[in-house]
Amino acid sequence: MIVMKFGGSSIASAAAIEWVAGIVQSHAGEKPIVVVSAMGKTTDRLLEAMQYAARGSAYPAWRRLEDLRQYHYQETQRLLGGEARAFLESRIAPKFRELHSILLDLEEGKKLTPQVEDEVLSYGERVSSEIVAAAFSHAGMKAQHLDAREVILTDEHFTRATPLYWETYAKLRRASALFDGSVVVMGGFIGTTQKGQVTTLGRGGSDLTASLVGAGVSAEEIQIWTDVDGMLTCDPRVLHGGYRLRSLGYDEAEEMARLGAKVLCPKTVQPAVRQNIPIVIRNSRHPELEGTRIGPQAIRRPGTVKAIACQTGVTVVHLIVSQVGILSSLSDGLHDLFERNNVTVEMVQAQTDGVSLAVHSTPRLPELLRGVDASVRISVEEETAIVSLVGGGITAGDSTLKRALATLLKDTNVRMISQGGSQKSISFAVPESKLPVSVENLHREFFRAANLEIFAPTPESERRLFVAEPEVPNMPPNSTWAWRSDMP
């Protein structure tokens, strides 16, 4: 038994769903359970409709809902032909009527709570999974729909619910006994509390669903089908020409995801790790490619940089103190302050006279920092990015750090440096405007002689010529600070 997860872009149209049906049919002998996201940008449109309704803006709320209804009807008609009308009337139309009723309640003054938000957003996956299951049946597969709300149990933390793992696994095992050889289709991202209230799992929720299902049924493999060839050595939106990683350890994949790789959500791997189930990242547009296999059999070459991960939308906060003795309490206090206010701290670097933190940018940051002791001088640098090298054992010794720093200093100032405690990453804060050139220089430095046992060429990497650069003398880590105006 395998689990196959397809994201919104993979099922965004009738043609895309038919393509996915072909992929699934080629794996029919492996008894697939298919997990799908909402079609296309449905979740974004539902969120817009809900927000308009909560503000009392009836027409734009109705318009977005009607656009969604027509979109789903149109693609279903293309998929099912003469069978579409009965299916739409019995399975899809009632859901859009329910949605319309919820939006009317919001327009009339019902409070938009996290619980209501989850109820509205859940319809994206509830509708898409029904349509995909019907499309599979129409294509000649023996297929059945499974409502994810019947098997994924969570706590009551609406919008970012945490699964109740063992209760969920028990439900999945009982359900799997009834699958009777069918291809099972279910929505990702959604679950229910033990009281029957609908919840959503937050960012990466559909991937987490796939991992939960895989662990619950003891799947042989969890496949995440997306629009890239696998885990790449760099983000293709920042730099084209990266290599595809043939394999990764769970720990390396989790580190890449934590540091900004968009292909996998950090919490996704946790259920799979506990059950030792491989996760394979594959491209639904190029199913002939083997993708990237994440699991215990990954090739290990300690000290090899496997990838470059990026994060944007970061602000660096520098705090300079006159009394070094308060540094520890200052750092701990800021961590607590940011955590209480849901501000993520990505990097910390201690200095002889202060501490620097790289945090996700938020308009609330000036207000939060006004509570810092008046004796502390504060300076901020906005529009910052974090670029990270990832690979098992790369922090052992200082050779990787020195090479990376010398490479970066050719074209940019480095605001901060952090070596992860896991020994799997080294991160640098750089101006956001310098992110592309920083990634390109690092990629040229660390992948100009890629080990083809670890890395697979892509069409872009074969076209791209990485030219070796002359060596640059090593620079001390603290020579690159660039300060901006004081915090108001």
pLDDT digit string, tens, across residues 127-149: 999 999 999 999 999 999 999 99
Share of the chain above pLDDT 70, in %: 92
Of 272 and 192, the one with more pLDDT: 192
Task: Give the residue from 197, 226, 255 where a domain finishes.
Answer: 226
Residue 92: CA atoms inside 13 Å, Cβ hemisphere, count? 25
Asked if residue 199 and residue 56 are part of one domain, the reply reads yes
Let me know if residue 414 belongs to a domain: yes
The reported pLDDT for the residue numbered 65 is 97
Burial of 356 from C-beta contacts in 10 A (0-12 / 13-18 / 19+): buried
CATH number of the domain enclosing 366: 3.30.2130.10
Q: Is 273 domain-assigned?
A: no
Please check whether residue 288 lies inside any domain of the structure: no
Residue 115 burial (10 A CB sphere; 0-12, 13-18, 19+): middle
Residue 473 pLDDT exceeds 50: no
Question: Tell me, what's the pLDDT at 237?
Answer: 87
Average pLDDT over residues 280-291: 93
Give the chain's mean pLDDT: 88
Name the burial class of residue 82, with classes exposed (0-12), middle (13-18) and buried (19+) by CB atoms within 10 angstroms of its CB: exposed
Distances (CA, A) of 338 to 213, 362, 369, 429: 34, 11, 10, 19
262 assigned to some structural domain: no
125 has a pLDDT exceeding 50: yes
- Residue 335 to residue 362: CA distance in whole angstroms: 15
Residue 330 structure tokens = 């200052």
Q: Based on the number of CB atoms within 10 Å of its own CB, is 422 exposed (0-12), middle (13-18) or buried (19 or more)? A: middle
Of 209, 226, 243, which one is at a domain's C-terminal end? 226
| pTM of the predicted model as reported, rounded to 2 decimal places | 0.85
User: Does residue 222 share a domain with residue 319?
Assistant: no
User: Over 60: is that where the pLDDT of 319 sits?
Assistant: yes
- Half-sphere exposure (CA, 13 Å, Cβ side) for 160? 3
Question: What is the average per-residue pLDDT within 314-318?
Answer: 91
Between 49-63, 67-81, 307-321, 413-427, the lowest mean confidence (pLDDT) is in 413-427
Separation of alpha carbons 469 and 354, rounded Å: 35
434 in the same domain as 342: yes
Between the alpha carbon of residue 304 and those of residues 294, 399, 454, the distances in Å are 17, 11, 10
With respect to residue 479, please indicate whether it lies within any of the assigned structural domains.
Answer: no
Identity of the residue numbered 462: E
The CATH number covering residue 121 comes to 3.40.1160.10
User: CB-hemisphere CA count at 13 Å for 33?
Assistant: 31
Please provide the size of the chain in residues.
Answer: 488
Residues 218 and 311 in one domain: no
Instruction: Give the gyration radius of the chain's Cα atoms.
Output: 24
Same domain, residue pair 222 and 314: no
| pLDDT per residue as tens digits for the range 22-47 | 999 999 999 999 999 999 999 999 99
Q: Are residues 319 and 174 in the same domain?
A: no
88 shares a domain with 189: yes
User: Which of 226, 257, 291 is at the close of a domain?
Assistant: 226
Q: Does 24 lie in the same domain as 167?
A: yes
Which structure tokens are listed for 441? 């220089």
Q: Rounded to whole angstroms, how far apart are CA atoms 403 and 406?
A: 5
Q: Are residues 336 and 193 in the same domain?
A: no
The predicted model gives 71-83 an average pLDDT of: 97
pLDDT at 485: 27
In a domain, 296, yes or no: no
Percent helix, strand, coil in the chain (nearest 5)?
A: 40, 20, 35
- The answer to whether residue 110 is domain-embedded is yes
Rounded to whole angstroms, how far apart are CA atoms 88 and 154? 30
pLDDT tens by residue, 379-438:
889 999 999 999 988 988 889 999 999 999 998 889 999 886 678 999 999 999 999 999
For residue 439, pLDDT over 90 is answered with: yes
Among 298, 253, 243, which Cα is nearest to 450's? 243
Range of the domain at 37: 2-226
| Distance, CA of 315 to CA of 326 (rounded, Å) | 23
Q: Comparing 89-98, 345-354, 454-463, which segment has the lowest mean pLDDT?
A: 454-463
Number of domains within the chain: 2
| Residues 211 and 323 placed together within one structural domain of the fold | no
pLDDT digits (tens, 9 = 90+) for 189-234: 999 999 999 999 988 899 999 999 999 999 999 999 988 889 999 9
Query: Is 216 contained in some domain?
Result: yes
